[in-house]
Structure 1
Amino acid sequence: MSRRRVYVIIGAIVGLANLIGNQVVIREAPKPIDVAFMVAAMVLITLIPLHPVPGVLAYLVCWLLLLLIPSANFSDITISNLAFLFFLGRFFPPWPAFSVLLTTLLSEAVLLMSLSAPGNQMGNSLGTLWYTALMGALLVPLGALVRFIEASRLADAEQADAQLEEMRLEIAREMHDLVAYSMSQTALRAQRAAADTSYSDHARHEFTAIEATASDALHELRLLLRTLRSPASEQEQSISTTTGLGNAVSDLSTAVGAISADVSAAGFDITYRHLGDAVPTRIQASTLSRVAREMGANIIRHGDPHAPVTMTLSLGPEVIRLVSTNRVRDTSAHLPRSGTGILGMRERLAAIGGTLTTLSDNGSWMVTATVPLADFHPIPTAPERNS
């Protein structure tokens, strides 16, 4: 439908040019019958891209009526005929299009010859007929060529979509057979180790934490695999509908607190603060929880466990802001750069209108994620008056 709108615009422009052009050529007030035919041709030529069969039939009836009515001038739809002939080749297969063209030419020839009065010049009728035949020989094949090119491009796009679909399914199968299997075995072995009384309480507690982490990761992996296996039509839906991630996080503060607890369990002295009471949307909570998880992972990978760590979640009143600070493990090394983790956080936040900023200073690293609240609207302030 979006492609047909272009042809509707073309038809409207040609019809309007036919209406204006005839008035410019005649240089006098047109007769009501001529105006009626020109307006009818403009309307019908814009309907052909939307409804080809009834539009073409209605335009042919208008064409034949113009020939049958003696008081009407055949030049009333001369310019509109150009768009009609092009649309004939564009919206119909070659054989039906040329059949309609030949039928139209024969009907026009019979009517012009039979209706020509003795005082009229036969050359005008033959000239009109040859003009129509020439334009049809040029514009109908041109429309057929455009139809073929668009069909070829559509076939190439469908083939590319099919290859992409096959690739997605192959990735989903490989991830299920390799990653999901390994994570399932990890969770199972950790569960068995946690139940083994021969281990110390501390070791069994660590095994329990490993089992919980592996189970959570396996659950999210299965959500991702479901998304990869879903048809392309479902991919256009909201991420909360497609993957179920909208229901994965019901309380953002609790989710960030759990991530800070994981960082603490990894040996870091972390302080978690929760400010404000604004309620984020489900997609905001889901996105920010994953950003917080990436922040926590970066702290564990690059942070100095002997330095304090902070994680602050501010809910409102205008924005939701999540800030993490830590020192890097090796002060002689470069601070973390915008790699795939930082890039992934930026992409997640950008999808919901948020931003991510990073700051390095004397061996310290700070990451800030900011998302505007959905129901916040700034109150315009009155301009100050000069005293």
Structure 2
Amino acid sequence: MAAAPPLPRPNRFDVSIAVGGLLGGVTMWALGLYTSGSGLLPADWGLVPLVVMAALELLRRSRPSFALVVGTLALTFDMLTPGNAATIIMYTDLAYAAVLYGTPAAARRIPVTTGLATVAITLGFLVWWRDPQALFVGLGAAIVSFGPAATGALVRDHRDAAEAARLRAEQTALLAEMDRSQAVTAERARVARELHDMVANHLSAIAIHSTAALSLDDPATSKDALAVIRENSVAGLAEMRRLIGILRDSGAGTEPAVAPTLDGLTALVEGARANGLDVTLAGLGGGPLPAPVELAAYRIVQESLTNALKHAAPGPVRVSLARRDGALEVAVSSPYGAAGGEHGDGDGGPRAPGSGAGLVGMRERATLLGGTFAAGARGAQWTVHATLPLADTPPE
């Protein structure tokens, strides 16, 4: 059989109450100061409930219900002696502590029990004495038992309310920190997508044409390649300056007015043709679209053309946009090679390195708008297909 756990060390304040009550009670006994006890037992017997009550004060926090029950018996014994005020005062503290530190059930039960006991004592003495003076006995019982218990209940309610308010404040602070972390993460992902989509296209063109300029000993070809390199480096620098402006702007959480739209797809396709892609564009027109949808569609086409420039085999690249069932469908197809990064170049490797972040960014853009995204090889073609809902579109 497991041994009972040892009692915790008494609180220093409880020790002070016990010592102070014991010394005060002994002093009253030595001076012959007594309450209106019955006196059925000699005054010296009053030291017994005094010592018991002082010892119970050491248990007022760790064993409050036990201390109150034993204290009630000690108080009853004290009434058979001339009575000691210190014993009564320490009992009132035990009644208070039993409600304040006891279980919730005890905290609800003790005030009711002491209240009923006070009423019963009052009625009993009224019937016995048949004198209104019996009301003072009931008043004394209320002061000794019901009053401390009711006070403990009030203090406990205030303490529980304060603890609940503290917990709510901590939960609110935790939720606010989680919201802040999620907002920071979402903003970092948005900036990462913008940085990748704005710069990758230009850097890929620079990498491809610089390779051509280094590998071909043809002044005309090298000059054309350098012209494309300069054009893309200037455009990339402008995009970088735009991104830095977004980050420095106090309202960086909103998309700036100069964000790309579908009206810029024609220029984007022309730039891809200048970089050597055989691109065709179909499906523009049909009225304005929500700004987040236009931005997402533009970036998906831009990244698809960048991937085609880096990885596609020679052949036509087709870009199409169409409205169907309340959504904008974006489709890009390019010749699929047998090797390479996201899809091969047909010559055993990609013409420019890729990390796969482009596919992740396109999928994120579609998902944020509540749409779908798919990319992969279909026969001899690498296809990218995105569906972007036009209704109830959240801002990116």
Band the TM-score falls in, shorter-chain normalisation: 0.3 to 0.5
**What is the TM-score normalised by the length of structure 1?**
0.45
